[in-house]
Amino acid sequence: MAGVVLAAGIGAATSLIGGFIGGRKAKKAARQAKAERDRINGAIKAFEQNRQAVINPYSDVKSLAGLATDLSGEMSNPYANLGVATSAAEIKMEQTDLALAATLDTLQSTGASAGGATALANAAARSKKDVAADIEKQEAQNEKLSAQGEAELQSKQLAEKARIQSIQISEGGRAQMAQAQGKSFEFQAQEGRDQATLDRMAAGLSQSNANIANANAAQAANTAAMIGGVGDIAGAVIGAGGFGGGNETPITSVTPPAATTVVQDTSSTQPSGVSNMGSMGTGSDRRLKKNIKKIGKSSNGLNIYSFEYIDKSYGEGTYQGVMSDEIPKDAVIKGADGFDRVDYSIIDVEFKKI
């Protein structure tokens, strides 16, 4: 019976020491994760306070309506000042007078009859009349062509001014639109970079929170291992009949086993024959077992094995459980002796003797 108590003491001491060391590491990891979380929160807050202000890229756009002017003042009627071709009429009258005077001189010098003089004068008058009419016709045509040319010139000048005005308005509007689009592009490019930076910070914050949760879970597991170790010592002593009722010698000090000694997986050692082995299985490390056979799968897909312990001090007979190298890492606790322990309370496989 003393051997049972001693074995329990050794396993419990291992659990206590491992739990104490693991707990200190978990606390340190939690402090570091919280410090990193606080640092990232501060960086995010500072970054957001110094982000670029939202802009209106069209704030500098101005109306170009002032470039549009009334061109009606440039228009005129080139036919408004057309005059009558009086010069031709004056020539006609002068020529008629000269013709009559010449006829009279002829009649006086020749003594011709009045009828001949009249006929001569009429012929001269008709000739001069035709010349005057032709001149008048030419002058009228020249006036008309001049007016038409002036009208065409004014029309072309007006069209050119309208074209230049249209170009000025169109180009001014295009330049303003290009400036607004440039500002919008610069803002969106910087906004994209800022958002990418914030996303990376948020990812770091999420990782820090996960690290805190993992550290807290590890700390709780190590605390549970320490408590379980104390309980195992008490259970072993009670199961052996106490220190005073038999020939057993009470354990006053326990020295942890050497690294080469095979030890129990956790502090939750149960008396032989008890089916419920507690939340921590004894020796879930594959290296502590023999006759390992796969007998099924859990609802979460974990392999379930039957096995025997190589060291009978862990228990005799066949047990049911898992292999620590096949389950989620958060359910595995590394002991100070180098062997794995499993927290069966967070997986869907029962550790028991079968």
Three-class SS of 123-157 = HHHHHHHHHHHHHHHHHHHHHHHHHHHHHHHHHHH
- The vertex-100 CA angle with 98 and 106, nearest 5°, equals 105
Name the token pair of 354: 């079968």
Q: What is the pLDDT of residue 320?
A: 95
Q: Determine the average pLDDT of the residues in 304-313.
A: 93
Q: What is the pLDDT of residue 260?
A: 33
Whether residue 309 contacts residue 319, with contact meaning beta carbons closer than 8 Å, is answered with yes
Average of per-residue pLDDT values in the chain? 78
* pLDDT > 90? residue 298: yes
Q: What is the pLDDT of residue 145?
A: 92
Q: Classify strands 303-309 and 289-297 as parallel, antiparallel or unpaired.
A: antiparallel
237 CB contacts (<8 Å, ≥6 apart)?
Answer: 5, 8, 243, 250, 251
What does the buried/exposed string (b/e) look like for 106-143 if buried means 16 or more CB atoms within 10 Å of the residue's CB?
ebeeeeeeeeebeebbeebbeebeeebeebbeebeeeb
Q: Determine the average pLDDT of the residues in 322-341.
A: 89
d(C-alpha 115, C-alpha 118), whole Å: 5
* pLDDT > 60? residue 302: yes
d(C-alpha 337, C-alpha 265), whole Å: 9
At 168, give phi and psi (nearest 5°).
Answer: -60, -45
Closest CA to 268 of 309, 327, 303, 227: 227
Under the banding of pLDDT at 50, 70 and 90, the label for residue 248 is: very low
Least confident of 76-90, 157-171, 190-204: 76-90
Q: What DSSP state is assigned to residue 280?
A: B
Question: Can you tell me which residue has the tokens 């009670």?
Answer: 238
* pLDDT > 50? residue 324: yes
69 CB contacts (<8 Å, ≥6 apart)?
Answer: 165
Under the banding of pLDDT at 50, 70 and 90, the label for residue 267 is: very low
313 CB contacts (<8 Å, ≥6 apart)?
Answer: 3, 7, 264
d(C-alpha 302, C-alpha 311), whole Å: 25
Higher pLDDT, 309 or 246: 309
Crossing angle of helices 114-239/86-110, nearest 10°? 170
* pLDDT > 60? residue 255: no
Name the token pair of 288: 């502590």
Q: What DSSP state is assigned to residue 273?
A: T
Q: What is the pTM of this model?
A: 0.36
d(C-alpha 271, C-alpha 263), whole Å: 16
Share of the chain above pLDDT 90, in %: 35
**Three-class secondary structure of residue 96 per DSSP:** helix
341 CB contacts (<8 Å, ≥6 apart)?
Answer: 225, 265, 266, 280, 281, 283, 284, 285, 324, 332, 333, 334, 335
* pLDDT > 90? residue 178: yes
* pLDDT, tens digit (0-9, with 9 covering 90-100), for 77-131: 776 666 655 666 667 667 777 777 777 777 677 766 556 667 666 776 777 777 7
